[in-house]
Amino acid sequence: MNQVEETMSYVYKNPNAPIEDRIKDLVSRMTLQEKVGQMTQIELCVATLDDVRNLSIGTLFTFFCSTIIDPCSFRASTPPTFKLYIWSMVSGGGKEPLEKAMASDWAETIDRFQQAAVDSRLGIPLAYGIDAVHGNNRFYGATIFPHNIGLGATGDADLAQRIGAAVALEVRASGIHFNFAPCVAVCRDPRWGRCYESFSEDTNIVRKMTSIITGLQGQPPVGHSKGYPFVAGRYNVIACAKHFVGDGGTEKGINEGNTISSYDELESIHMAPYLDCLYKGVSTVMASYSSWNGCKLHAHHFLLTEILKGKLGFKGFLISDWKALDRLSEPRGSNYRRCVYTAINAGIDMVMVPYRYKQFIEDLISLVESGEIQMTRIDDAVERILRVKFVAGLFEYPFSDRSLLDTIGCKLHRELAREAVRKSLVLLKNGKNPGKPFLPLEKNAERVLIAGTHANNLGYQCGGWTRYWQGSSGRITTGTTILDAFREVMGEKTEVIYEKYPSPNTLSGQNFSFAIVGVGEEPYAESAGDNSELVIPLNGSELISTIADRIPTLVILISGRPLVIEPWLLEKMDALVAAWLPGTEGRGITDVVFGDYEFEGRLPMTWFRTTEELPINKGDNSCDPLFPLGFGLTYKKENLQSK
């Protein structure tokens, strides 16, 4: 028997065999250690080539970690006394990337780990994951799209699908197969630090925008079985619907908090988008850090197993969040064996460890050998993980496709991001007097003042999850700021004066046609963004007031959620635009404010008057919001909410 014939005798290696037959064959050949390895996902910074080659590590990820990782460096290690079989890796959050590491460097790194996996006993390929939540946002030069709240303001399902396809290309270009996106949380309280990761407070809007999954993974064929994972091909990625379930409904908007509701309310508000995800063939689902009525989701057998896998028919795999098992005990990380027992029996299939993988593997093997976790539970998890890898074509095409490298930050994707920006802008005020609109602006104005903390700060414009977990300030990547965009568009004879904080002499001594003031939130992510006050940071209100007292002023608010706008301040503004967190393409803003395109955005969140009203959502009759859900003016003076 030659090598080809021998390979084809292994059903799991035959690309023409039915996927379920391949799964059954491969599982039958695996040891317990290899099965447990499939369930283990570790961070790149602790991964070694020896672990992958000799110990069969197979799932990695990259988060945004706290120290620099050189993607071109590789470490070898002495194998421990017991065997590890880990088939997943991840790049996570906290570690700075090298300032301008190329995607080709990352592709080379991942390919080397992939080669080690392919050279292991069974040759099961790696699935490498990353949080590309609004573009391949970890990498310098990638296209950064508006965060989900901005996409929710567009209400454009086709746009979301096209963005998903573009993101998939830029992710695959760097050798990565697995994207921990989209977040399909229904944010019911803007105090939540992840509000901008939600498309809307309205379940129907969130359901509509799950079309991004068909962009990331591809469009399933007619008749595709609901709940069965689907990935169209090598230009697509494994998507992940997160965070199951109710993470946007926690009490007081506290991240990782407690959602108090009946099951019917949980199902109708927070679970409904997952039905759409399953119909679209989403391959993975991530459990939430949060709790439902006091029980943590990572320990919730009823919701994870009986509902998601049983009632809803999900056939992909369920992955934990970062170090989520550590959060199942107090103090965090204590009694780890019990945490492993609880989460795996609840229905978690793959665990984002990310560092304690040796202890995790030891504990899980011990729990199986003692009978505390049944082998059927392990086999179920492994079958689900392998199903996704087979569906994604990783066995046939495990390595990166360098022909895709030119897609990263390409003109076509940046034009798509620019389109998304202009469609996401919500016009909240246009003129102080009825019948006398302030916008559109005049491109050939004589003298213009551009000011504010966010007028020339690309990092602020992109928000969190951009290059770094919490985001950062300044020119953190390539793109166009608000100031850049205005300078490109204004007439040759227009004098554009930029001062972040204009001096009294500037404000009093020159005859400005108008002022553009960019203010808003500093970048943040997750719990660091929890905010009970929601005032405009960095003295934004005072800056607006000072300038608007002297110069006709357009305020561009850069934020991941509605913020407090006092009535007296709103009166001073001549125009107000909610630009959300638009990303790298500032020209999308000038496209609209100069009248080349119409305002199309509608509020995806109710804009409260005071934080004492919160939470406030559509249908609440106890409060009168500043602007209701769906509000948005146009140049035709229409309120889009009435359409």
- pLDDT one-digit tens code per residue, 461-499: 999 999 999 999 999 999 999 999 999 999 999 999 999
What digits encode the pLDDT tens for the residues 302-339?
999 999 999 999 999 999 999 999 999 999 999 999 99
Of 484, 423, 493, 488, nearest in space to 454 by CA: 484
Alpha carbons 600 and 16: distance in angstroms, whole number? 48
- Residue 336 near residue 326 (C-beta atoms within 8 A): yes
- Residue 308 near residue 285 (C-beta atoms within 8 A): yes
Q: Say how many C-beta atoms besides its own lie within 10 A of residue 368's C-beta.
A: 18
Q: Is the pLDDT of residue 431 over 70?
A: yes
352 or 639, higher pLDDT:
352
Alpha carbons 588 and 482: distance in angstroms, whole number? 9
Q: CA angle at residue 445 from 442 to 448, to 5 degrees?
A: 110
**pLDDT value at position 53?**
63
- Beta strands of 44-199 (E only): which ranges? 59-63, 88-92, 127-130, 178-179
Q: Is the pLDDT of residue 99 over 60?
A: no
Check if 369 is active-site: no
Check if 321 is active-site: yes
Q: Give the model's confidence band at 642: pLDDT under 50 very low, under 70 low, under 90 confident, else very high.
A: very low
Strands 575-580 and 426-430: antiparallel
- Residue 24 near residue 76 (C-beta atoms within 8 A): no
Tell me the pTM.
Answer: 0.95
**Which residue reads 């491109």 in tokens?**
443
Q: Is the pLDDT of residue 94 over 50?
A: no
What digits encode the pLDDT tens for the residues 337-380?
999 999 999 999 999 999 999 999 999 999 999 999 999 999 99
88 or 210, higher pLDDT:
210
Alpha carbons 136 and 420: distance in angstroms, whole number? 16
For the chain, domains (ranges, CATH) are: 19-63+77-407 (3.20.20.300), 425-639 (3.40.50.1700)
Q: Is the pLDDT of residue 274 over 80?
A: yes
**pLDDT value at position 4?**
55
**Whole-number Cα distances in Å, 62 to 42, 72, 138, 319, 325:** 9, 14, 9, 15, 18
Catalytic residue of the set 111, 156, 383, 526: 526
Q: Say how many C-beta atoms besides its own lie within 10 A of residue 319's C-beta.
A: 27
- Residue 393 near residue 234 (C-beta atoms within 8 A): yes
**pLDDT value at position 393?**
98
Q: Give the model's confidence band at 574: pLDDT under 50 very low, under 70 low, under 90 confident, else very high.
A: very high
The per-residue pLDDT of the chain, averaged, comes to: 92
Catalytic residue of the set 34, 43, 321, 363: 321
**Which residue reads 């270009």 in tokens?**
173
**pLDDT value at position 79?**
34
- Judged by DSSP in three states, 131 sits in coil
**pLDDT value at position 81?**
33
First-to-last CA distance in the chain? 70
Q: Is the pLDDT of residue 78 over 50?
A: no
